[in-house]
Amino acid sequence: MLQSYTVAARPKTLPAAIVPVWVGCVLAWKLTGDIDWFLGLFTLLGALCIQIATNFFNDAIDHEKGADTQARMGPQRVTAGGLLSRRAVYAGAFFFVLLACLVSLPLVYSRGWVIVVIGLPSLYLSYGYTGGLAPLAYLGLGELFVILFFGVVAVGGTFFVQTGDWSWPAGVLGMQVGLLSAVLIAINNLRDLEEDRRSGKRTLAVRFGPGVLQRIISGFVLLAMSLSLCGYSYGAGWFFLLSVPWFVVGVICIRRVKASPPGPHYNRFLAGAALQLVLFAVLFTVAAAI
């Protein structure tokens, strides 16, 4: 059973939770010369719990709605695969929601009501991404959700936890992280295009077709790269040049996506997009240190 829960947690998606906290802490160190490791640890734990809860809810709800079947081209889903019951998957989701609340208590104690304002919508949307009256993923709003909550809010919130203040560089870096995280969602939705169409899941890929979404992915990567120029304004002047490696990885992913129809091989492209996101964090750290 533990192995099934591990599969449901989708470990390969966790960089999307780790990178915003990492980048926000590094920016705080760059601008203030200090990192509060205690608050950083609890911020990271909270982000991981919300990401895992989102994955659990997604697993159970997509199966209920027929969006995940045995014929899916992506990694195995535990509810659709019969590894865990829907009740067991929901129980896991609510456990991580509760755990996210508990690990946020030191953050609330240190920074006050602002953490509650940030945290409550994030907790709800771990469910509302695929569930509720207006599930974002089923309305074609998945990429926007990721840009805002796994990018701008996550990086900006981490910076606020560290410093007690807001800063425009955190918004810029949050936008970059969100755009690169949205590349993952977009490639995932391209891979699942036909299955989503049959189940009524109106992702951007279903609404506008693969050609439009491929151009949107290209725009995400290009915009993220261009925003690296802002590094000159907050003391990370090398960031634009150091962004070339992750940008190249992104271009390679885009070219491969455009050159082949959706299929199981898109999982390799997803791995490349995840590498791009991690490289972004690593190279921003190097730029900040320089």
Question: What pLDDT does 68 receive?
Answer: 58
Question: What pLDDT does 140 receive?
Answer: 87
Question: What pLDDT does 62 receive?
Answer: 81
Does an H or E element contain 20, and which?
A: helix 15-32
Question: What pLDDT does 248 receive?
Answer: 96
Q: In this predicted model, what pLDDT tens digit does every residue of 155-170 receive, in sequence order?
A: 999 999 999 999 999 9
Task: Tell me how far apart the 2 most distant CA atoms of the chain are, in Å.
Answer: 53
User: In which residue are the tokens 């456990």 written?
Assistant: 95
Question: What pLDDT does 217 receive?
Answer: 94
Tokens of 57: 């809810």
Question: What pLDDT does 244 receive?
Answer: 97
Lowest-confidence pick of 33-42, 122-131, 150-159, 167-176: 122-131
Q: Between residues 140 and 18, which one has the greater pLDDT?
A: 18
User: What is the CATH topology of the domain spanning 2-289?
Assistant: Farnesyl Diphosphate Synthase (1.10.600)
Tokens of 31: 């601008």
Distant-in-sequence, close-in-space partners of 201: CB < 8 Å, separation ≥ 6: 62, 65, 67, 137, 138
Does an H or E element contain 248, and which?
A: helix 244-259
Q: Region 86-95: what's the mean pLDDT?
A: 91
Q: Region 36-63: what's the mean pLDDT?
A: 93
CA 146 to CA 129: how far, in whole Å?
10
All structural domains of the chain with their residue ranges: 2-289
Q: Between residues 248 and 78, which one has the greater pLDDT?
A: 248
Q: In this predicted model, what pLDDT tens digit does every residue of 177-186 receive, in sequence order?
A: 999 999 999 9
Average pLDDT, the chain: 90
Q: Between residues 129 and 20, which one has the greater pLDDT?
A: 20
Please tell me whether residue 278 adopts helix, strand or coil conformation: helix
Question: What pLDDT does 63 receive?
Answer: 80
Question: What pLDDT does 66 receive?
Answer: 67
Q: At what angle do helices 86-103 and 37-64 cross, to 10 degrees?
A: 160
Report whether 287 contacts 236 (CB < 8 A): yes
